[in-house]
Every structure is written in C-alpha cells, then in structure tokens.
Amino acid sequence: MIGFAILALHVIIYSGSGLILYALRARLSLIPFYLYIGILQVFTSLMSSFYVLDIGYGISIGGGSIVYSAVIWSVMLLYIIERDLATIKMVILGIVAIQFIFLVLYPFYAFLMMFDGASNPLGIPSLLFEISFGIFWIGNLLALFEMILMVFLLERVRSSLPKVPPIVKASIVYILMLILDGLLFPILAFPIIQSISIVQGVASIVGKLLLGILYSVTLLVASLILDSKYVMERTGAGLKFAEMLSLPKTEVIQTLHKAEENQIMVKILLDLLGHDIRNYSDVSLASLELLKEECPDIKEAELELISNIEQTQHRTIALLNNVLTLSMIKDRSLETTSINLLEMFNLARSDVADSYSSIPLTVTGEKSLDTHIKGNPIFQSLFYNLLSNMIKYRKPETEKVTVEITVYSEGKSTHVLISDSGRGIPPEKREQSFESLTTRPRSANFGLYLVKAILNLFDGDIWIENRTDSPNDHTAGLTFHLSIPTE
C-alpha cells in the first residue's frame, strides 16, 4: 500500500504542477507550460536510471515511466482544452528538439565519468550513460510514434460512439497508449538490456495500466477545473496520419500570421459595409414612407409593391445583422452580462413585424420570459431567427402564425419552449437544421445554425421536439427547446 500511495503522490505532483501552470495561461501564456513539458522530458531520461518504485504484487514501475506518462498526459491536456492541432504539432516538434540535445550530452557525460580531470564524488559509472544512450533513443522514437498515434486516434474516435462521454474516450486512448508503450518498449529494448525478461515485460504492462488509470483521474479533474466542454469544432473525416508527420515549419507560422491579418481586415470591411448598408436601407425606408405621405392617392396595388420593398429592406438589414452576429461569434468577442429575456424577445418581435408585416404573428405566454439570465443582447438575434423561421415554414394555407411560449427552471438552467403550428420537421432531419455553414447547402437559411451557435457560446443548447399536444405527429408543429444557464 505504501508503494501505491507513493505512486499516487507522484501522479498528483506531476499532473498538479502541469494543471497549475496551464491554469495561469491567461496571465503567463502557455510558455511556462511548454517549459514544464521540457523539464518532464529531462526527468524522463534521468529518473529512468535513478530508481524503480516497488508497488507490490510483483509490480514495479520505473521513475522514468511515471514522468513519461506525465508528458503524454500534458499533450492530452493540450488536445482536450486547446482543441488546436497546430499547437499539438508544435509541442511534439519541441519535444523532438529537446531530445536531440541529449544526443550530444549522453556520450559527453559518459566521457566525463571516465575522464581523470573530472571529479565524480558519487562514483557514478560511465556505463550508466553508455547503456542509457541506447535505451534513450529507443524510448524517444517510440514516444514520438505514440504521441502522433494518440492524436490520430483521438481525432478518429471523437465523432464515434456519441453516447460515450468524450473525456472517457480520451482516457481510454491515453491508457491504450501507455499499455502499448509497456508492450513495445521491453520488446525493442531486449537486445540491449539482456536482463529484461518476458515476466518483467508483463509487469511493465500492468504498471502502465495502473499509471494510465491514475493519470486519467487527474485528466478528468483537470478537465472539470478548466471547464472544458471538449467539443471539437473540426469537421470532415478528421486528421490524416500523414498530417501529424508533417510538423509545422516556418512557412506555417508565417501563413498563420497572414491569416490573422486577413481576419482583422475582413472584420474592418464587415463593419464598414454594415454601417453603409444600414444607412442606405434607412434612407430607402424613409423615402418610401415619405412617398406614401406625399401621394395619398396611390392605388392599392402600388401600396402593396411599396410594402414588399419595405419588407425586403428590413429582411436585408436582418440578414446583415446575422452576418455581423456570426462574425462576432467566430471572433468570440461577446461579453457576458445580465439580460432580460422578455426584453430581447419583444425587440425581436418588433423586427419580425417589420420584416413580415403582411403576416400576423400571435404570441401567447411571452410574459413567462420575464426573467434575467447571463447572456448578451445578441439574444435578440436568437429570438428573431426563431420567429422568422416559424413564419417562413408555416403551413401554406395558414394566414397567421401562432406561437406559444413556456418557461421553467431546472437546477441552474432556464428552459424556454417555443412552439408553433408549422409544417414540422421529421425527427431524422432535425439535426440538419443546425448544421454549420461548411456542410449545409449554400441556398439554405442559416438562422437555426446561428441560434445554436449563440446558445453554445454561453454554454446553452437547443433541440427540436414534437408539440406536447401531438407527441407522435411532427406535422402538427414543433417545439424549439432552449436550455440556457442562469449563472
């Protein structure tokens, strides 16, 4: 038991130090965390030669294995929290660069231990570094392969087994990598270290399994503390194995800087276009109103044409607002503040009345929205897109749109149920309504995608259900179920 307690203490010290340094990234950036990984790399080599911890039951774990598990743990933590493959590749490249320093140091240390002009008060034999040199390079090449394979597997399993929590899938991959290391390392090192036997190899696998379980626990704790939702935003088939082998170079960094400059320029252009288009639309709307006042004898047909032009202008402004909102979401430049849902809804309802003045909108239960949450005024756009979607997809024979709202609290979340009596969506096609801009057809509206993106930005969610009064008939209308954190 004492050996196991000491092993657990190792895990807490190594992963706890990494967690503290990573948690300070907002003030210190990730540089201290990268230095921490470099220190772990040095310790991996040193501790392999210094001690082996006896756990009991015939299981012993080398100090180097404990530290190496912490290195893999650090790469896994970066993957889960940062969700940036370029960063992971840079870390792996840095780890490889560190190892090349030891390519010179190990033979140099072996020489110093034999050199008469260098004192050796601890009596460390030069043979230690001569033997360790071979083990060191086998271990390093194996570690590089395992890190690349780990990220490759994580990318592959992230979209599979949707019912399994992502952190569980990450832990399983992590444990498998350590077991693979425990299996391959004795086999590869056997010609160099004749003392390694099959029994020791099996014990090594058991030790790696134990390390994997302990570090997986701290990985879960770190994910909870750092509030990681572990939501991968990449789309498509995932990372290809060849991509991980092509580590970033100077050209990649230069391209990244250029992309950042282009992003800033696009934001400036969007602001300029948004300002000018709004001004032109306001002038057009004012001119149309003046035309109706100055020409009271306009025929009904002409008035209808003018009304259509006004609605088109309002919808153009709404589309522009959606584009600017999408830009802010992608830029993550929204501040969290206290907002009143009823106030946001009423503003959105007023905008919808301007955009679709020919279609009456009746709302019941809106007073239940009179509650405050942590959000942003952008929630006005959220309600606008929901209401306009209900108008666009109303039943063809319907002259007006009826919306029913129910609000209730559950735990730390406010649930808003907005129901309509429109065409409905079959259950198997509902997720497509929220697909990202890269996967949906260009002609398709992206209002519901925007709604989900806004909610996700504030840790909320939305899903579609059948109406409670017609649970088995999606053609009777739908209920949009919004879950919004209250804190």
User: How many angstroms from the chain centroid is the CA of residue 372?
Assistant: 27
Cβ atoms within 10 Å, residue 257: 9
Q: Are residues 59 and 82 in the same domain?
A: yes
Please indicate, yes or no, whether residues 103 and 196 belong to a single structural domain of this protein.
yes
Regarding whether 406 and 480 lie in a shared domain, the answer is yes
Residue where a domain terminates, one of 311, 333, 355: 333
What pLDDT, on a 0 to 100 scale, did the predictor assign at position 231?
Answer: 37
In this structure, what CATH number is given to the domain that contains residue 417? Answer: 3.30.565.10
Largest pairwise CA distance in the chain: 113
pLDDT at 196: 44
385 and 298 housed in the same domain = no
341 in Cβ contact with 370 (< 8 Å): yes
Per-residue pLDDT of the chain (487 residues; tens, 9 = 90+): 788 889 899 999 999 998 898 888 767 777 888 888 888 877 876 776 678 888 877 788 888 888 889 988 988 888 887 766 667 777 777 777 777 777 777 778 778 877 877 887 777 777 766 666 666 677 777 888 888 888 888 877 876 777 778 888 888 999 999 888 887 877 776 554 444 444 455 667 788 889 999 999 998 888 888 865 543 334 344 444 444 444 444 454 555 566 666 666 666 555 656 656 666 676 777 777 777 777 777 777 777 777 778 777 777 777 777 777 776 676 666 788 889 999 999 999 998 888 888 888 999 999 999 999 888 888 998 998 899 889 888 887 777 899 999 999 988 889 999 999 988 888 888 888 887 666 655 445 678 888 888 898 888 999 999 998 888 898 889 999 999 988 6
Indicate if 261 and 226 belong to the same structural domain: no
Cβ contact 153:173 at 8 Å = yes
pLDDT number for residue 249? 44
Provide CB contacts within 8 A for 438, sequence distance 6+. Answer: 235
Same domain, 373 and 476: yes
Residues 187 and 75 in one domain: yes
| Co-location of 6 and 48 in the same domain | yes
Exposure string (b/e) for 136-174, b if CB count within 10 Å is 16 or more?
bebbbebbbebbbbbbbbbbeebeeeeeeebbebbbbbb
Range of the domain at 132: 2-248
Residues 259 and 226 in one domain: no
Query: What pLDDT, on a 0 to 100 scale, did the predictor assign at position 352?
Result: 87
- Tell which of 248, 283, 298 closes a domain: 248
Q: In terms of domains, do 273 and 340 share one?
A: no
Say yes or no: 366 and 473 in one domain.
yes
User: Do 306 and 347 fall within a single domain?
Assistant: no
Please state the domain count of the chain: 3
Tens digits of per-residue pLDDT, 360-374?
A: 899 999 999 999 988
H helix intervals, 158-226: 166-189, 198-225
The whole-model pTM stands at 0.47
HSE at residue 167, side-chain half, CA atoms within 13 A, is 17
pLDDT at 247: 42
Domain boundary among 333, 348, 368: 333
Angle at the Cα of 261 from the Cα atoms of 256 and 265, rounded to 5 degrees = 145
